[in-house]
A and B are shown apart, each in its own frame.
Chain A
């Protein structure tokens, strides 16, 4: 079903991560990521959305090998990453970099900005000291700072400036993919916009692909080409940003979208409410993981995990056939899809919220 047309720069199949947790002498298996497929075309931005416990950050950490995935294959630019020692991994990292969530703690407080930006070059590029210096200056200008900042320490910069340094560090060795793990969630709103615009500009100029991990739906809407919605370790809905936001299909996606507050006076919203608590990831229900909270629940939902199915759409809304990766809008909710099929008018459902 994942029909790949051209070569994605990052291709992930069946990614799975289990943690063994020991509490009070009992061992349990926590499945943080339960078989995630995902591919990103060169220069594309894919957003991975979910709440805490959804496994979105675990995906990022598995891809960068900060933790070992339990199963699954990862292809980066055609090469399979897997079972690599740190030397091979180190070479692979040349094409895969990461920007972290908290700019206050992702920069070594004891290093000058210059050393922070030059460190990846030292490790991967054969450059003279002068060339590294020059490149560091170019990079810091590229992220919108002044070269005088190079001789400062992280604590002397503001949060937004530090995040720009984090981006410059990731760009230093010209990777093909950058994983952005909630890069704006600890920043003020006014800074958030600037960082996003910087990221978009960099993408236009360098054709780098982004995997954008976030819980902020506004950010997704602004920056992502495609979006994957995760709930308790599984992708429950996937599609172009346009499709998912205009016709959210999975009840979880709908709840998520309708819960996000809108900075608009008198915005009338219809809330799609999920009741109850999120089940423990150690003791997951057999069928759909949302069954216990879902208003659309059917008996068969509790039987087995529903697969990702194509969401029926009006012809006009079909995405243009750009050669690349999976473009279809899919959701793991047969009852919701059945409802659309029964009532084609529903396909043109007005957005439950207006982000």
Chain B
């Protein structure tokens, strides 16, 4: 659970590719519904022109072996292919969703049987099963629809079942049950509507696949009645002509099929893409916002007087501002943030959700989330402005001189590498040591953070550690490069109180014995009172107050600080 969610309230926007795909599908739908208006010749009549006529003004797509107009036939086939595809997808969607929802929600024997059946159907090569079933029930539009939708059902069952299983214990589903909804209503009114987006995305990808399978059946001659206009059978008809050079007989129906299949695909792909941030539009937005910010900063920098950082401060944040790129340029979230970190002192940055405390801290090492744009300010670390030649400057300090401890330790460690491997990698990336030396350092480090049996623990993976133990590993990882500044982002949030107390005590001891400078980002004033010497209070992206711990707690100057203190002391001290 990160506290950094720049796009939290923004609705997911629809990528351009979805509109493109939807546009083509819509045009196809109109065309296939009104073929007769567009087709210059009767699609099913032979001899409307000479055989094998190349594409020309009279025969846009040329003619085939019997002199039928390929353009008219391609249009006419759209009705067939589009119709079959759409019907099959709708049938598979309805049946598959219903079965999957029931299996996921009720589980039990129904679920077991259904999943076994689906596994059997999916063990067949799909096209082969389609061929076999069409051969069994005979050709014809209805039969093809039935067969192709049966093939699609297992996919829907699996998808919907997984969706329902993952959301079944979501609190709104539980809430719906507790207020007395009957189970079926919980399922159909509360759960299913919230699974629609992935379902529609999948249906679209499924439609792309169905169109190809339908044409494949036609190509083999197992689809609808041979001779009728259908893209697959048209391609099949032109197969031999290709070798003699008449490419258009197969070529144009193929392009039509590709167009239909690709548009469905684009819709599905775009809808299932999780972050619209990667779409064309926002990349452009980002660039524009960045350019705007750069010019603004250049003018501001020229106007600013040289500041001389105090020598006792290892890091000085001066007038740091920035925001996230939006349609109207940069939406500011940090306003002129200034504070300093005294050497060998533990400073707290305190604030509530949206105060910008984590964003400010991550910016120190250039780890602000994608989309964050700096609009001004300086970050002076040990006398050097880190922002003057970013990102190169970060490479020199990040990891080696400034280390970070993140909130969710288990999520912040790589799940597929052993803890030992990660420690050794981190050690060797920042210190000139051999692998064996790094191993020895890593073991010593685990001992320092009070992890019992460090040698055995080195060989374990992050998931084998409890939350508190994982946070100790994270701490070892941060300290292994012997940094000067340690930034701790909510290091104990989410841990149980007793564990939290132990981890905090360890942190304070390490910071003291190593003579480190530490910056603790937290929302918990209790933790601050017990551990820090300096305090920075932030709210809504602004620094409200800075001061010593004693002053902040006993004599707060800013009304917000006082309010925060009062809120933290729910019960008056005895």
Contact = CB atoms under 8 A, between A and B. Distances in A.
B564 interface: yes
Given A90-B182, A265-B529, A277-B466, A51 B171 contact: no
A255 B526 CA distance: 16
A149 B527 CA distance: 36
Interface stretch (A22-30, A119-127, A306-314, A316-324): A119-127
Contact of B171 (A90, A101, A123, A271): A101
B393 to A, nearest CB: 34
B175 A107 contact: yes
A217 B179 CA distance: 29
Contacts, number: 153
A354 B574 contact: yes
B174 A190 contact: no
B473 to A, nearest CB: 15
Interface residues on B, range: 35 or more
Nearest to A90: B180
Interface in A128-180: 155-156, 159, 166, 169, 172-173
Contacts of B529: 261-267
Contact of B496 (A101, A196, A215, A265): A215
Q: How large is the interface on A (under 10, 10 to 19, 20 to 34, 35 or more residues)?
A: 35 or more
A196 B570 contact: yes
Nearest to B182: A86
Main secondary structure of the interface of B (DSSP, over half): helix
Given A100-B174, A107-B172, A188-B523, A264 B571 contact: no
Contacts of A156: 9
Interface in A246-302: 255-256, 259-267, 269, 271, 273-274, 277
A193 B574 CA distance: 19
B181 A255 contact: no
B416 interface: no
A51 B177 contact: no
Interface of A is mostly: loop
Contacts of B466: 277
B174 A355 contact: no
Given A189-B564, A264-B553, A93 B179 contact: yes
Contacts of A97: 178-179
B571 A218 contact: yes
Interface in B167-208: 170-172, 174-183, 190, 193-194
Contacts of B177: 66
B573 A264 contact: yes
Q: Which of A97, A193, A263 has the most CB of B within 10 A?
A: A263
Contact of A263 (B183, B502, B504, B526): B526
B434 interface: no
Given A261-B529, A264-B553, A265-B529, A351 B574 contact: yes
B179 A169 contact: yes
Given A188-B353, A221-B570, A262-B530, 9 more contacts: A98-B174, A100-B175, A108-B194, A189-B525, A261-B504, A263-B529, A263-B569, A264-B569, A264-B573
Closest 6 CB pairs of A and B: A261-B526, A265-B553, A106-B171, A90-B180, A263-B525, A51-B496
28 contacts: A86-B182, A87-B182, A90-B180, A93-B178, A93-B179, A100-B175, A105-B170, A106-B174, A108-B172, A108-B176, A109-B172, A109-B194, A119-B179, A119-B181, A124-B180, A169-B175, A188-B352, A259-B498, A259-B500, A260-B497, A261-B500, A261-B529, A262-B529, A263-B525, A263-B569, A264-B553, A265-B552, A266-B529
Interface of A: 51-52, 64, 66, 86-87, 89-91, 93-94, 97-98, 100-102, 105-110, 119-120, 123-124, 155-156, 159, 166, 169, 172-173, 188-190, 192-193, 196, 215, 217-219, 221-222, 255-256, 259-267, 269, 271, 273-274, 277, 351, 354-355
